[in-house]
């Protein structure tokens, strides 16, 4: 499989334009429901940031987290096999470097709109979206345009927070 650093660069450039966390806590539109249905058989809306912490910390989600980590490692190994570790690291570092300040600021703003200030939760949210965008860029750059990582990052990019997959349910804020 190839590795296309230009695809990763496109993901990094798009970070500034998305409304990260802007739709958290709001009802889903019909368009969102259709798009989210591709991520899991069932989607459950979490009503607010207070409940988000409990869902994100639910130990039943560990199996899905672990499976995603293994899949990301396999994609990274493919990328490194095609382009070498330094090139992959250099390309993907741009996503992290561009993203984390933006994601952290957007998470803090979303919490503030909800009347909350929780530095730990904003760091968790920023880290989660950072990981999702990193994984989506990796999947896209290794020629996997329909990979679920791209769909998860797209959910973040429309302002949602995919909190956890538990069994066949994806919990969204």
Task: Give me the mean pLDDT over the 72-83 stretch.
Answer: 96
Residue 97 in tokens: 């470097």
The ranges assigned to domains in the chain are 5-172
DSSP 100-118: HHHHHHHHHHHHHHTT---
Task: Give me the mean pLDDT over the 38-53 stretch.
Answer: 91
Using DSSP bridges, classify how beta strands 162-166 and 42-45 pair: parallel, antiparallel or unpaired: unpaired
Beta strands in 6-161 (DSSP E): 42-45
Q: Indicate if the pLDDT at residue 1 is higher than 90.
A: no
Instruction: Specify whether the CB–CB gap between 71 and 134 falls below 8 A.
Output: no
Question: For residue 24, what pLDDT is reported?
Answer: 94
HSE (side-chain half, CA atoms, 13 Å) at 73: 6
Question: For residue 35, what pLDDT is reported?
Answer: 86
Which residue would you say has higher pLDDT here, 35 or 164?
A: 164
DSSP secondary structure code for residue 17 in this structure? G
Instruction: Specify whether the CB–CB gap between 10 and 138 falls below 8 A.
Output: no
Instruction: Specify whether the CB–CB gap between 22 and 110 falls below 8 A.
Output: yes
């Amino acid at each position: 499989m190839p590795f296309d650093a230009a695809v990763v660069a496109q993901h990094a450039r798009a970070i500034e334009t998305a409304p990260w966390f802007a739709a958290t806590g709001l009802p889903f539109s019909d368009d969102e429901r259709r798009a989210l249905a591709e991520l899991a058989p069932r989607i459950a809306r979490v009503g607010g940031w207070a409940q988000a912490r409990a869902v994100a910390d639910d130990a039943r989600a560990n199996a899905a987290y672990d499976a995603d980590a293994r899949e990301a490692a396999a994609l990274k190994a493919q990328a490194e096999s095609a382009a070498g570790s330094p090139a992959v690291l250099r390309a993907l570092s741009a996503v992290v470097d561009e993203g984390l300040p933006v994601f952290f600021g957007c998470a803090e703003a979303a919490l503030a709109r909800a009347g909350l200030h929780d530095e730990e939760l904003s760091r968790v949210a920023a880290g989660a979206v950072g990981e999702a965008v990193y994984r989506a860029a990796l999947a896209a750059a290794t020629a996997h345009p329909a990979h679920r990582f791209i769909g998860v990052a797209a959910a973040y990019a429309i302002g949602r927070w995919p909190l956890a997959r538990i069994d066949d349910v994806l919990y969204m804020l």
